[in-house]
Amino acid sequence: MKRTHPHSSHQGTNKEMKTSTESRPNEKDFLFRSPFKPEQQTQNIRTCLENINRDLAYIQSHGYDEFTKRRANYLEEDADVNKKDHQNLGSAFTGKLRDYQIFMLERAKKGNTIVHLGTGMGKTLIGIMLIKGFLACTNKGNAAAGGAKSILFLVPSIALAVQHTDSLRANLPCRIETACHTSSHSAKAREDIAAADIVVATHGSALNLLKHYQDILCLTNVCLLVIDECHYATGDHNYATILRKFYHPLKEGNRPRPRILGLTASPLINVSIRTNEEKLQSLLSEFESIMDSRLVGFPSDHKLVNSSFSNVEQVVIEYQPRENTSLPNHDNWKLHVSRKNEINQLQYLCNEVGPRVTAAYAAKLAREVSRNEFDQETSQQCENLKSYLSYVEKHLNELIVQDKAGPYGGHTDKMRKLERLLMTVLKDDSGSIEQTPVGIVFVKQRITAIALCNYFRLKGEEKARSLDDEFSPLEVGSRDHMNQSKELTDDSDVFKDAEENNIMDFGTFTDNNSHMIPQVPENGNSSRYPARDNLLRCDFVVRRPTHIFKYMNKTLNKCQLKKLEVDWLHQTEEIRSIIRKLRHRETNVLFATSIVEEGVDVEACSFVISFDALQNVKSFIQMKGRARQKDARFFVFADSTTNEKQLSLENASSVESMVHRFIARREVENIQEFNASGDNFVDCLLECAEETAMCREEYRTSMSSVDLSSSKSLLNRYSLSVPIDPSYRTSKQAISLHMPMYNDNFLILPSHIPPDMRVINLPSLFHDEPRKKKHSLMALAACVRLHKLGLLNDRLLPLSDVDMKSWLIENALHEIPSCKDTPLCSFQTPCESTTIVVYLYKLSQYGNTFSEEEKSFSSCNDSKVRLAVASLSPLPGDLPILSYCHSELGCIECTLSYVGTEELSEYDWHRLTDFHCVIFNARWRRKSKRRWLTFDDELVSRHRNPYVIGCLNSNDEIHWRYIDSIIDDFSRSEDERKEAVRSYDGTLVSPRVCCPTYNPTASYILYEASGKISEDEFATTEFKSFREYYATKYALNIDPKGRMFRARRIWEFPQSSISSHREHHAKQIPFIDLPQELCAESIVADPLLILHSIVLPQFLYKLERFLTAHSVIKHATSNYPNLGKCLSTIPIESITEALTAKSCSEAVSYDRLEWLGDAVLKLLHTDALLKWKRTSFLHEGYLSLLRSALGSNQRLCNCANVTGIVNFILLAPLSRAEWKPCGLRSLKQDVIEDDDNLRLTTPSDKVCADVIESLIGIIFLHHGINSSMSVACELGISFNYGDADDSITWSDLPVDSTLIDFAVSFLGVEKFQSPQLLVEATTHQSCLHKPVPSYQRLEWIGDAVLCLAIREWLFRFEANFTVPRLVVLETTLECNESLAFLGFQKGLCKFIDHRDSRLPKRFETFQRDLEKMERGLWCTGENDCL
């Protein structure tokens, strides 16, 4: 019995709704249309109006707030009723598990398992039984359980979530909750999830809970993780993300983690017809790695599988495409922009199925479309859309009537054949539910599914009884006729209306108010269903977009949250309804998108139709798996004229069989492993791994295996993977030199393998085997040898670049030794009871013009300014003498000399730092930006050599009186500084620095009154007087009798580094007259102090660089003795160059040294790899990869960071924005700029790597290659094991004396320690008959030697060459053309031993080209000989 709620017709809250009998037509328009049959219309409208009138009366008597509360109570009661009604879809399992299910269940109990079974073989049942076991172990199966772990069941869709929830509830007596976006949005829903024993969650909802609600859901509290359709756990899918981010970290950290059970029917989804077995193994291994599980399953024909599978007949239906019918242009209809894409989908539908179906669909849309409020679509735009859809319907129907819609009456050939096919497969309906044909039509686009369902429903209403094989044309043209048919309700708008939040559309074509719809009897007797009168009874189910913004952009109140829960319950009821109807045969055809492919139990179908071409093998397997009835058929539509590469039915079946066979072998092995008692397998106790593998005819690693059937292909794959010269891959003859050579009882591996490892001998035990098997056995032994040598990884695949680099770092390079973690400075601000000691260094400045200016000011002052550097630590004894060229002061030399120490109290320290700030606020601050510099004691502790600037008296003590006077001047306000100038009399005691009030950024030195007043004649004829000049120029009205002072502009303040190497004549600064009333004293008014601070920033910048170089020596000496010993004997200027980045904009940087150091490291790494027995035998291609890994920027950058060298890199240029003296930071409008000077405080990875290379380069220049090797090993960027056997196994081979004489003459070497190496150096790789390796290894060594030799020569040849020019010269010297020219000039080609018939002709051609060119070493252009 259905209850009538006050909210059942809440649209009646419109107070303008009339209630009288005469208003019935308007009320009918308000209801828009009736979702019921015509004969029910009158009674149902009357019921609706009664409910509306009752609600209006309740609102008038009790108020709308009371009505809302009452409505919320009914919603809650309705939700409770629905929760009870919804638990009726799943069925309890009462039978017995099959043998294979028991086997897989036992395997899942022992460890993480991926269950691979076909569709319908009971994967979910295995999961339920495993869950039941876990619940029993954790005492969660009873009501008294508390605090135990929960179980998480992941699914890819809401439909599967609903289905599995019902199945679990039917079989397990515990609390089960479903989590998807809608059902886990509220706090109450999340509380239910937290309290649940089992949580069935979609992957998106689970990921959201794990990310943001770990108090609700955390894998550490999950004992079992079941993943349905787990083949999605690859790439960026949420399954893979959950495992990578939340499961694997638990495994790595040895923390509690859940058991994993994966369920899938198609574990390998990215497979094509060209995929080989190695690729399948790689894909499966990767899949198992992500799942951290072992795949277990059985082939369908295995003896343990008692179930029998029907033979699914597979049929291809070819159709002819037709010329597309264009819909009317919609550009002028003023539609909302969000609707244009939907109109394009309508055009796609017309191209697929034809105008007839599209016209019927457009007519439905015109009646049902609602305004898209989310995208702010206006009512007028919505009305325009309805008008356009009506026009589309009319236009398409006119084409049909005029016979312009194609040869099939408005259908495409594809649609016509679908229609006939459905009638053919459905006409065998015998009337019994069990024998009624039922099937699924899969389509690619959701609009196609909805339109087809709408069309066949309309046609079913048009037809009264059964149909013939040929359909009669369906006349759809009038609006009245369409209103008579069975239609969708307003809530099933098929456009992507943003106001909805359903995940799927289900084509039930019923109203939510289920009491208005004829109900389905519980016994499922289809003869009593009204829909059984039609031959084709269809529904649709499609995936819909999720509009989460509806719930995220606003705060939901209690009523809205309850409404949201009811929406979720209605949605789950729709899912259950569609499955229930199929089981009871109320519907027999389901139009669906990919959502039904996986897992949703829509019934065992007698036919499945793929209306579009197959997309991938996974879809093929899943779709075909729905056809599980006896003699079921699977149809695929295919375009007969397309030339596009698409997956054919034949190829899909072949790929399915290939994957099935591949996995079947593993499955049989699983059975053997599971059932083995230990007596059925006798291990071959052979000491040699190669012979053991030959006896077993198989070789296994921890991750893969190889047998006789794949050994030769694997060996060939390795040989082709070796990085060789591309020219050797151009012909079969050339590539054969790098392939294995099979003989009767031995195998010769490629020439790059060392001679003592190159031959594989077949044991005598196998000499009587057939020739093909003997070759496979030797190839198997070769694979074992390559794996033991590390040339094949544990997957038995050739080593990749990543494999080589990771193996090298793990096995060869030790951990970089970290330095002592000592603070940069032990400075602490003095307090009342403590003092601080500073080391005073007098700053002396000399120069002709500078000294004259200093003397002129000192004669007017009773004291001479002597600036000093007050350092918190002693400075080195070899302080440099620095000189600068100033445009107005000429050459200035600066020196520092030690004068003693002094203890400072807290008060004295602050006085000294204030003086430090005053000087640089006057000299170095950015005036245009209104920034000031302030002192921060914290910055002092970060500085490596902290200091402040002070002032000394004639006794070389701190001049406190002068310092206090400067600080007092700086503390004056602007009015006080103006008043100070106005107080000047005619003669000043000493010149003062002033700023004009009309231009505060300019500074002038005022000497004395000039004797002029403002009315006096101006210097030029343009103005009559000074007064007129200022009135015209600056709009200032000054006193006519105002006094004028004689002044001179202050000297230029250089903002960056200035030259110290060029002669410069000082420019004279002219005197001018300034009015007294327009001047104010500067913040520092003493011109003598300003003079001494002119080049002070430049001097301190150079001093800091000098001190940094000293600090790096000290740091290296205390942490890395070899490095410290080398650096201590290198000039400071060179070390500074090696630490200077290009960002400093200095004349020199580490650029050249880094270029040289790169070659040094290249040779060091070459030597290290050759001397280590684990790499000395590798092919030079692999050696090059290892050498690159050793000298990679990542490794060198890590070295710079771990060793602390990164702290000494010079980055900041001399500019006000990037560099500030010690302890100073910017202050703008009383706010400290925290990000000030941070851009260049941390070097990039590339800069760190470059500095390491430059240090190696400078050590090589001053100490040679041996010291470079010791330092590189000490820093951990190279190694020197030297354990390789350097004895020459073919030393007894005689060496031609002619070859030795030629080498002595050619190379200028008096004697060779190992003359046999000359034989190797002249042996071509085609000489496989000789026990001598080819010259490739020596060529790889010579490349590094020649690179360093050329770079060193060029580096020393010209110090002014930039790196780009050096690179050009280096390339010219060591290019193939230059080296080949030298070799031919000396006759080297005569000594090359080879078996390649092409070489003599190439030699002759090159020789003729040389004679024509008549060019030598430096030639470029015209003829490239080789």
Question: Going edge to edge, which strands form the sheet with 746-748?
Answer: 741-742, 746-748, 759-761
What backbone phi and psi angles, to 5 degrees, belong to 101?
-70, -40
Strands 150-155 and 759-761, sheet pairing: unpaired
Kindly report, residue by residue over 1161-1175, the tens digit of the pLDDT.
999 999 988 888 777
Give every CB contact of residue 116 below 8 A, 6+ residues apart in sequence.
264, 265, 267, 295, 296, 297, 663, 667
Burial class (CB in 10 A: 0-12, 13-18, 19+), 669: exposed
Give every CB contact of residue 875 below 8 A, 6+ residues apart in sequence.
839, 841, 869, 896, 898, 945, 1107
Please say whether the dihedral angle defined by the alpha carbons of residues 452, 453, 455 and 460, taken in this order, is positive or negative. Answer: positive
- pLDDT value at residue 41: 65
- pLDDT value at residue 73: 65
Of 518 and 421, which is predicted with more confidence? 421
For 214, the 3-state DSSP assignment is coil
> What is the C-alpha radius of gyration for the chain, rounded to an integer number of angstroms?
45
Cα–Cα distance measured from residue 244 to residue 261, given in angstroms and rounded to the nearest whole number: 16
- pLDDT value at residue 1250: 94
Kindly report, residue by residue over 94-128, the tens digit of the pLDDT.
667 777 788 788 888 888 999 888 777 788 888 98
The model's confidence at residue 1381, banded by pLDDT at 50, 70 and 90, is confident
The model's confidence at residue 732, banded by pLDDT at 50, 70 and 90, is low
Kindly report, residue by residue over 942-968, the tens digit of the pLDDT.
777 899 999 998 888 999 999 999 999
HSE-CB at 1291 with a 13 A cutoff on CA atoms is 6
Kindly report, residue by residue over 329-359, the tens digit of the pLDDT.
888 888 887 787 788 888 888 888 889 999 9
- pLDDT value at residue 1271: 93
Kindly report, residue by residue over 771-790, the tens digit of the pLDDT.
999 999 999 999 998 888 77
Of 34 and 441, which is predicted with more confidence? 441
Of 1094 and 641, which is predicted with more confidence? 1094
- pLDDT value at residue 1342: 92
8-state DSSP, 87: T
Of 627 and 1070, which is predicted with more confidence? 1070
Query: Is the confidence at residue 531, as pLDDT, over 80?
Result: no
- pLDDT value at residue 568: 54
Query: Is the confidence at residue 1290, as pLDDT, over 60?
Result: no
Q: What is the arithmetic mean of pLDDT over 545-552? A: 38
DSSP letters of 1145-1163? --S--THHHHHHHHHHHHH
- pLDDT value at residue 681: 27
Helix residue ranges per DSSP H, 510-633: 549-552, 558-583, 617-625
What backbone phi and psi angles, to 5 degrees, belong to 263?
-125, 125
The model's confidence at residue 1060, banded by pLDDT at 50, 70 and 90, is low
The residue to which tokens 């703008």 are assigned = 1228
Burial class (CB in 10 A: 0-12, 13-18, 19+), 699: buried
Kindly report, residue by residue over 192-201, the tens digit of the pLDDT.
888 899 999 9
The model's confidence at residue 841, banded by pLDDT at 50, 70 and 90, is very high
- pLDDT value at residue 682: 26
Cα–Cα distance measured from residue 1203 to residue 820, given in angstroms and rounded to the nearest whole number: 9
- pLDDT value at residue 1413: 63
DSSP letters of 720-741? HHS---GGGGSSHHHHHTTS-E
Q: What is the arithmetic mean of pLDDT over 192-219? A: 86
Percent of the chain with pLDDT over 70: 75
Give every CB contact of residue 1295 below 8 A, 6+ residues apart in sequence.
1315, 1316, 1318, 1319
What backbone phi and psi angles, to 5 degrees, belong to 1049?
-60, 145
Please say whether the dihedral angle defined by the alpha carbons of residues 1372, 1373, 1379 and 1382, taken in this order, is positive or negative. Answer: positive
The model's confidence at residue 527, banded by pLDDT at 50, 70 and 90, is very low
Q: What is the arithmetic mean of pLDDT over 886-909? A: 91
- pLDDT value at residue 719: 84
Average pLDDT over the chain reads 77
- pLDDT value at residue 733: 62
**Burial annotation 204-227 (CB, 10 A radius, 16+ → b, else e):** bbbbbbbeeeeebbebebbbbbbb
The residue to which tokens 């039509």 are assigned = 441
Specify the range with the lowest mean pLDDT, choosing from 58-67, 443-452, 863-872. Answer: 58-67
- pLDDT value at residue 262: 93
Cα–Cα distance measured from residue 724 to residue 1180, given in angstroms and rounded to the nearest whole number: 8
Q: How is residue 1292 written in tokens?
A: 């007894």
Of 26 and 558, which is predicted with more confidence? 558
Of 1363 and 140, which is predicted with more confidence? 1363
Kindly report, residue by residue over 1324-1336, the tens digit of the pLDDT.
877 766 777 778 8
Of 95 and 705, which is predicted with more confidence? 705
Of 894 and 71, which is predicted with more confidence? 894
Query: Is the confidence at residue 1131, as pLDDT, over 90?
Result: yes
Q: What is the arithmetic mean of pLDDT over 249-253? A: 76
Q: Are 620 and 472 in contact (CB under 8 A)?
A: no
Q: What is the arithmetic mean of pLDDT over 294-310? A: 53
Cα–Cα distance measured from residue 649 to residue 847, given in angstroms and rounded to the nearest whole number: 94
Q: Are 261 and 115 in contact (CB under 8 A)?
A: yes
Query: Is the confidence at residue 666, as pLDDT, over 80?
Result: no
- pLDDT value at residue 140: 43
Query: Is the confidence at residue 1047, as pLDDT, over 90?
Result: yes
Kindly report, residue by residue over 1250-1281, the tens digit of the pLDDT.
999 999 999 999 999 999 999 999 998 888 87
- pLDDT value at residue 457: 85
Percent of the chain with pLDDT over 90: 20
- pLDDT value at residue 1151: 93
Contacts 24+ apart (CB under 8 A), 371-375: 372/336, 372/338, 372/339, 372/495, 372/497, 372/498, 372/499, 373/498, 373/499, 374/497, 374/498, 374/499, 374/547, 374/549, 374/550, 375/336, 375/337, 375/338, 375/498
Q: What is the arithmetic mean of pLDDT over 1233-1244? A: 59
Query: Is the confidence at residue 542, as pLDDT, over 90?
Result: no
**Quick one: which H or E segment has residue 155?**
strand 150-155
Q: What is the arithmetic mean of pLDDT over 130-142? A: 71
- pLDDT value at residue 898: 93
Q: Are 764 and 748 in contact (CB under 8 A)?
A: no
Query: Is the confidence at residue 20, as pLDDT, over 50?
Result: no
The model's confidence at residue 497, banded by pLDDT at 50, 70 and 90, is very low
Cα–Cα distance measured from residue 270 to residue 249, given in angstroms and rounded to the nearest whole number: 27
Query: Is the confidence at residue 462, as pLDDT, over 80?
Result: no
Cα–Cα distance measured from residue 350 to residue 348, given in angstroms and rounded to the nearest whole number: 5
HSE-CB at 982 with a 13 A cutoff on CA atoms is 10
